[in-house]
Amino acid sequence: MLEIITPEEYALQAAEKIRVARANETLDREKYLKQNNIKEKPLPSGLYVIEEKAGKGNIPKTGDKVKVHYTGYLTNGTRFDSSIDRGQPFEFEVGAGRVIKGWDEGIRHMKPGGKAKLIIPAELGYGERGSGDKIGPYATLVFEIELLSISNVTDE
């Protein structure tokens, strides 16, 4: 039997689904942090940048082109993407809005040759829409990133 609901009831149900999904994301992220013994504090945005290998030189700034290798995971350990598997680094312009916000912010805390783990809350990742069939709505993302190089776009 089909239930008929008012637009107000539908809006309330949708809001409750979002509230539950956000609460689950927070619980999943906290569980991941505890299981992986992560003691670092997040940046004000909620992004965690955990340096695994220090780099040398300058940090990227808006307008710089960066080249990275990365592997992305969900907090349950599911690997969903990797430039290493493709054998080709990924390039993007810092601050151009062509990558998720967590990447744009996190890369600005790295130097060439450095490696870091970024733990990206949903609002700095793919948010309520998710991405494809691998990343669901409100998913915390974990990226292992190596900053290979920085170049100034105007120099090219």
Query: What are the tens digits of pLDDT across the range 14-67?
Result: 777 777 777 778 888 999 999 999 999 999 999 999 999 999 999 999 999 999
Residue 1 placed within a domain: no
Task: Report the pLDDT value the prediction gives residue 93, as an integer from 0 to 100.
Answer: 97
- 119 or 8, higher pLDDT: 119
Task: Report the pLDDT value the prediction gives residue 153, as an integer from 0 to 100.
Answer: 62
Query: Which of 100, 107, 135, 150 does the annotation list as catalytic?
Result: 100
Distance CA 39, CA 50 (A): 10
Tell me the residue range of the domain where 112 lies.
7-155
- Catalytic site residue 100? yes
Phi, psi of 43, rounded to the nearest 5 degrees: -70, 165
Task: Report the pLDDT value the prediction gives residue 17, as an integer from 0 to 100.
Answer: 76
- Note whether 123 and 135 are within 8 A (CB): no
- Catalytic site residue 81? yes
Task: Report the pLDDT value the prediction gives residue 152, as an integer from 0 to 100.
Answer: 84
Assess whether pLDDT exceeds 80 at residue 84. yes
Assess whether pLDDT exceeds 90 at residue 124. yes
Task: List the alpha helices (DSSP H) in the chain.
Answer: 7-35, 83-86, 101-106
What's the token pair of residue 8? Answer: 């107000």
- 37 or 136, higher pLDDT: 37
Our count of domains for the chain comes to: 1
Average pLDDT over residues 125-142: 91
How does residue 8 score in pLDDT terms, banded at 50, 70 and 90?
A: confident
- Note whether 59 and 129 are within 8 A (CB): no
Query: Which of 32, 48, 64, 81 does the annotation list as catalytic?
Result: 81
Task: Report the pLDDT value the prediction gives residue 154, as an integer from 0 to 100.
Answer: 59
3-state secondary structure (DSSP) of residue 26: helix
Output the domain CATH number for residue 88. 3.10.50.40
Residue 2 placed within a domain: no
Average pLDDT over residues 130-152: 93
E-state strands within the chain: 48-53, 64-74, 79-82, 90-93, 115-120, 141-152
- Catalytic site residue 126? yes
Average pLDDT over residues 146-150: 97
- Catalytic site residue 92? no
Write down the pTM of the prediction.
Answer: 0.86
- Catalytic site residue 80? yes
